[in-house]
Amino acid sequence: MKILFATQNLNKIEEVQSILPQDFSVLGLTDFNFEEDIPETQNTIEGNAIQKANFVFDKLGVLCFSEDTGLIVPSLNGEPGVFSARYAGPQRNASDNMTKLLNKLGNDKPRKAYFETVIALRTKDSLKTFTGRCHGQIAFEQSGNGGFGYDPIFIPDGYLASFAALSKTIKNEISHRGQAMKKLISYLS
């Protein structure tokens, strides 16, 4: 089965392709010569996932799914949350975002955090969402060379290393995206 993943983030495409069973293949927006910016103006992660799937479906008319992900730190009132991509400004720079988060946490605030991913699957007649969460702690400094986004400062529960230092296989098994994808796969199968 071929399925369009409506995202402009190539790291997400790579992760999702490696999570999906071999009988699925992921198409990207470039396969449809789609280069428009996709709006993300809602104030929830779920709202943004739905907005992205609807926007792309309305333009292309093909079954697609999108996802929105946020990192939630309860001791910072849920920041960066829905603003995770542009936390430190419109340049959407991962290193700037991590620096801002580490500075805001300082040495004293509780470091519990979780990632949340909502996948929105849009067909002609329906819209369905699938949520995944991964709990952990924000590290005191960056470590590891893999992953993307906030991975160098997120240590998932049960591990001593950041997502960026753990293998892709482990990240996919336990991550927010991995959990949400399992639900999507079981629905599609």
Position with the least CB separation from ligand ITT: 149
Tokens 């293998």: give the residue.
Answer: 167
Q: How far apart are CA 123 and CA 56, in angstroms?
A: 11
Q: For the CB of residue 172, give the shortest distance to ligand ITT in the complex, in Å.
A: 10
**Shortest Å distance, C-beta 183 to ligand ITT:** 16
Which residues, 62 to 81, sit near ligand ITT by CB under 6 A? 68-69
Q: Which of 23, 31, 68, 157 is labelled catalytic?
A: 68
Q: By C-alpha distance, which of 52, 25, 31 is closest to 41? A: 52
Shortest spacing between CB 54 and ligand ITT, in angstroms: 13
Q: How far is CA 118 from CA 69, 131, 132, in A?
A: 7, 4, 7
* Whole-number Å distance between alpha carbons of 28 and 37: 14
Among 118, 151, 165, 180, binds ligand ITT (CB under 6 A): 151
Which pair of structure tokens corresponds to residue 98?
A: 């991590």
Joined together, the tokens standing for residue 78 give 């849920």
116, 104 in Cβ contact below 8 A?
no
122 binds ligand ITT per the rule CB under 6 A: no
Question: Is 116 an interacting residue with respect to ligand ITT (CB under 6 A)?
Answer: no
Stretch near ligand ITT under the rule CB under 6 A, chosen from 4-12, 53-61, 125-133, 135-143 = 4-12
Q: Is 68 a catalytic residue?
A: yes
Binding to ligand ITT (CB under 6 A): which residues in 32-61?
40
Q: Which lies closer to ligand ITT via its Cβ, residue 24 or residue 146?
A: 146
Instruction: With beta carbons less than 8 A apart as the criterion, state whether 65 and 121 touch.
Output: yes
Token pair 């991964």: residue:
134
Active site residues: 68
Residues that bind ligand ITT (CB under 6 A): 7-9, 12, 40, 68-69, 84-85, 94, 97, 147-151, 163, 175, 177
